[in-house]
A and B are shown apart, each in its own frame.
Chain A
Amino acid sequence: MALGTTRRRSPDQARWGTYAILFAIIIVSIFPLYWSVVVSSRDQSAIGRYPPPLVPGGSLWDNLEKAFEQGNFGLALTNSVIVAGTITIAVVFTSTLAGFAFAKLTFRGRGGLFAAVVGTMLVPTQLAIIPLYIMVTQWFGWSNDLRGVIVPALVSAFGVFFMRQYLYSAMPTELLEAGRVDGASTLRIYWSVVLPIARPGAAVLGLLTFITYWNDLFWPLILLNTQNPTVQVAIANTRSGIEVDYSLVLAGTVIATFPMLIVFLVLGRQIIGGIMQGAVKG
């Protein structure tokens, strides 16, 4: 599924003007990240001066180290890996299971239930924040606890939708029938036929889910305090105090962004393919 798109016939060859505009756009895309490196590699005093420095200075490591200690980033990074990782595994698993049922199995109420999945995609979950907070902290006793961040996010309507669309076209129905003729149970078929076929789609869903929850702020911000933050909560907390030390604040954003940039550099092709594939089928 490489890029998830089929090019019917090549459109027109781009001219240099096209490249020039695209390069300008990419510079705008990358500049804020570059700027965060520039600021976090300088002392606060160098930033508070006109003209501002436009190239990185030599204090990057010092500032990163300082931010790391002050912002509790060691724990924050670990927490983010645990949160995003657990949610990703669970979402991929539950979505593949439900997506398979919606794509290939017949049962009464399938159409209505699938419409319900699509409908719930449009419901903004952050509006339910007050009961969620009461439930998680008072009923389950998970205040300042990673479980409170993880458990409400274990399923995803988008994930079910995505895997249903993927399996609908990727898995031949004959395979299901053949498995049944051989006397295999549906669960057995799911395990040894569906899962291997679903792997490329599941990998893309996993990537998109990981990015989403690595970057999530609203709910972790409410539930977790500075003693036990995720990376995003940690950087959101660096801007406390009247005088903002931008060198340290942006050093925090560098720490929070860097892991995702690495993932993106290695798996960018798959991430782009996933976004474009979801778009065409959606």
Chain B
Amino acid sequence: MTVRTSEQLDNRGAPPDSPGRPSGPSSRRQAWRSRLYRFDVKGSPYLYVLPFFGLFAVFGLFPLVYTAIISTTAWSPRKPGSEDVSVGLDNYGKLLSDDNFHNSLINTFGIGLVSTVPQLLLALGIAHLLNYRLRGRLFLRMGVLVPYITSVAAVALIFNQIFARDFGLLNWVLQPFMDNPLDWRADKWSSWLAVSTMVIWHWTGYNALIYLAAMQTIPYELYESASIDGASKWQQFWHITIPSLRPTIIFTVIVSTIGALQLFAEPFLFDTTRNSNGGPEREFQTVVLYLYQQFWTNGRYGYAAAIAWTLFLITVVIALVNFLLVRRIRSADD
């Protein structure tokens, strides 16, 4: 519809040359004007989107391509001239047999699972509660959202004290049940739990508000007719709320999965090894933390770039799988 109107306007602003009018400077000015007008309508939109695409090309797209190029070199800032040493796909070959990389993949997926699943289930429950008719609605929503405005760094440092082996708050609470204070960093399961707790605490309220927004678009009549038909509250939640939320749930699953694959600050700050090992035996070293260690601590640009590109490909594959699953579910519905 907008297409037609803008073309109409186009003609209105650029009147066809009237044959009766004498040609001269005024008609030339008019021609110039109409050209200016046509540029304004047809061309200027590109100028408005240019700042975004221009800067994105320089600071988003180009670095991504350049990462691929660096990943085929032996570049290290400690060896001058090494940026020109091409090693083909050797870095990727090394990755395939790198136990530390495999370990970081397992940690990333493990922590991702332990943090994403409870987080989204909790968020769903909280959203359901917030969807009741409540007094002090704004206060309750703000209370739930406080963790979101707390920085990841602050979250990690506060939970560092809570999960500290010596005189940590949680070990004090657990004291009656434990013989010795638990060293949360020394085991895979306990460190995953600690890191996941930070992620869950930080993001649950945010996701709850997203679910709440979607819940509020569900027509109340659906619930009314369901309860007339004798459906219990639980049945209503299961058969009306959840199916209506499906697009939103899929959206949050994709966003949280991508976020989980990028996990860095929480394990980085939870670490006490000071060299980004992610625990004494790399118990919670995620892929991005390993990437940071190779890039920053070890100065292996080429190898780190290979890690970055591999993770990028994994992210794309997972996003695609998600997307295909969604389409499958949708077409099954029709």
Spell out A's residues near B (CB within 8 Å).
4-14, 18-19, 21-22, 25-26, 28-30, 32-33, 35-36, 39, 47-52, 94-95, 97-98, 100-102, 104-107, 110, 113, 116-117, 120, 122-135, 151-152, 154-155, 157, 160, 173, 177, 180-181, 183, 185-187, 190, 211, 214-215, 217-218, 222, 231-232, 235-236, 238-240, 244, 246, 249-250, 252-253, 256-257, 260-261, 263-264, 268-269, 271-272, 275-277, 279-280, 282
Contacts and interface: CB of A to CB of B under 8 A. Distances in A.
Interface in B177-218: 201, 205-206, 209-210, 212-214, 216-217
Contact of A35 (B49, B167, B169, B251): B169
A257 B154 contact: yes
Contacts of A32: 147, 150, 155, 158-159, 162, 201
A127 B154 CA distance: 23
Given A106-B3, A279-B209, A260 B149 contact: yes
Contacts of B32: none
B157 interface: yes
A5 B264 contact: no
Given A18-B134, A39-B161, A185-B40, 9 more contacts: A22-B144, A29-B147, A98-B48, A151-B59, A180-B41, A239-B157, A249-B160, A275-B206, A279-B248
A155 B147 CA distance: 26
B158 A8 contact: no
A33 to B, nearest CB: 7
Nearest to A184: B40
A5 B215 CA distance: 10
25 contacts: A12-B133, A18-B129, A22-B130, A22-B140, A29-B145, A35-B161, A47-B167, A50-B172, A52-B172, A94-B51, A124-B312, A127-B291, A127-B308, A130-B308, A187-B40, A214-B151, A215-B150, A232-B154, A246-B160, A249-B160, A268-B142, A271-B145, A272-B145, A275-B145, A279-B210
B298 interface: no
Contacts of A122: 254, 258, 315, 319
Contact of B63 (A22, A132, A177): A132
Contacts of A101: 45, 48-49
Interface string B52-73: 1101100110111011001000
Given A21-B129, A32-B162, A180 B13 contact: yes
A115 to B, nearest CB: 13
Given A9-B220, A50-B167, A124-B312, A131 B63 contact: yes
Contact of B149 (A98, A117, A264): A264
Nearest to B122: A25
B8 to A, nearest CB: 9
Contacts of B261: 124
A12 to B, nearest CB: 6
A98 B210 contact: no
A231 B152 CA distance: 12
Nearest to A128: B63
Query: Which of the listed residues A113, A127, A180 has the most CB atoms from chain B within 10 Å of its own CB?
Result: A127
B111 interface: no
Contacts of A239: 157, 160, 269
Range, interface on chain B:
35 or more
Contact of B141 (A180, A272, A280): A272
A217 B151 contact: yes
A97 B22 CA distance: 41
Given A95-B52, A126-B264, A129-B295, A26 B140 contact: yes
B26 interface: no
B70 A48 contact: no
A105 B162 contact: no
Contacts of A232: 151-154
B96 interface: no
Chain A contact surface mostly: helix
A37 to B, nearest CB: 10
A38 B161 CA distance: 12
Interface of B: 2-3, 5-6, 9, 12-13, 40-46, 48-49, 51-53, 55-56, 59-60, 62-64, 66-67, 70, 126, 129-135, 138, 140-147, 149-155, 157-162, 164, 166-167, 169, 172, 175, 201, 205-206, 209-210, 212-214, 216-217, 219-221, 223, 248, 251, 254, 258, 261-262, 264-265, 269, 274, 288, 291, 295-296, 301, 304-305, 308-309, 311-312, 315, 319
A110 B45 contact: yes
B167 A48 contact: yes
A155 B56 contact: yes
B142 A128 contact: no
A133 B59 CA distance: 11
Contacts of B311: 127
Query: Which of the listed residues A14, A173, A187 has the most CB atoms from chain B within 10 Å of its own CB?
Result: A14
A125 B41 contact: no
Nearest to B6: A106
A46 to B, nearest CB: 10
Contact of B209 (A238, A276, A282): A276
Nearest to A235: B153
B6 to A, nearest CB: 5
A272 to B, nearest CB: 5
A180 B145 contact: no
A13 B51 contact: no
